[in-house]
Amino acid sequence: MTTALPALYDQLRQDGFAFATADTMRDLLDAATLPDWATFTASWDTLAPDAYLASVGRHRRRRHAVFAADAQGVRREPDQPHYQSKTYNTLQGDIERWFEPIVADGPSLRRILGFCHGFFGGLAPQVDRWRVEVHQFRIEARADEAGEPTPEGVHRDGVDYVLVLLVDRTNIESGTTTIHAPDGRLLGSFTLVHPLDAALVDDARVFHGVTAVTPKNPSLPAHRDVLVVTFRADATGG
């Protein structure tokens, strides 16, 4: 852990993004000690369809929650909509989107949020309070229809920092994360393959996207499960 953190900090400061292997994240989260890990990962099986995305002919499942993070720690806020302007989401911007709330709010999620608070807070120590949004996503692929992890294309989320943590890949091919400069130049690419592989992104500096996923065996169910955590400085927190 002592060597992994400085390397991740250096890479994020230098490049605007970092890929963390599952082994690295397992150590940083001390994942072997989490009592609810199996329940946490199984909660992706209960995700509700994203009705907003279905309205434009695409399909995925998700849940959502909002937290606040400050010197007193990380605490859950009342359920509220997810909102992005069209500046950041040309597909579904400028609307309030209500999703089913996250129910797996136990030690695993709390430890992930605690890691993010410490890591991202170390990059911006001047921030007293963060608005944190948590998204569970399941992208399903079918024989006749690829799954789109980022249907809006290469984009920014309109926040300060992003963690994308792979939870599961079942019968899936592709799903390559690409990182781009504001002028569109490709800065790097990698594929989250193993549970706990992660991408850490400085959203103010770089754009990101994920290529479509297809089933390895078209006759079997195929999905890609990720947890996305975003941190944005909350000016209303004083």
Residues 2-23: pLDDT tens digits? 578 999 999 999 999 999 999 9
What's the pLDDT at 57?
39
Q: Kindly provide the b/e burial profile for residues 25-62, where b requires at least 16 CB atoms within 10 angstroms of the residue's own CB.
A: bebbbebeebebbeebbebbeebeebebbeeeebbbbb
What is the pTM (predicted TM-score) of this model? 0.90
Q: What is the largest CA-CA distance in the chain?
A: 54
Q: Which two tokens stand for residue 12?
A: 């994020």
Q: CATH code for 4-237?
A: 2.60.120.620
Residues 220-237: pLDDT tens digits? 999 999 999 999 999 765
Give the residue from 49, 47, 50, 32 showing the smallest Cα distance to 196.
32
Residues 97-111: pLDDT tens digits? 778 899 999 999 999
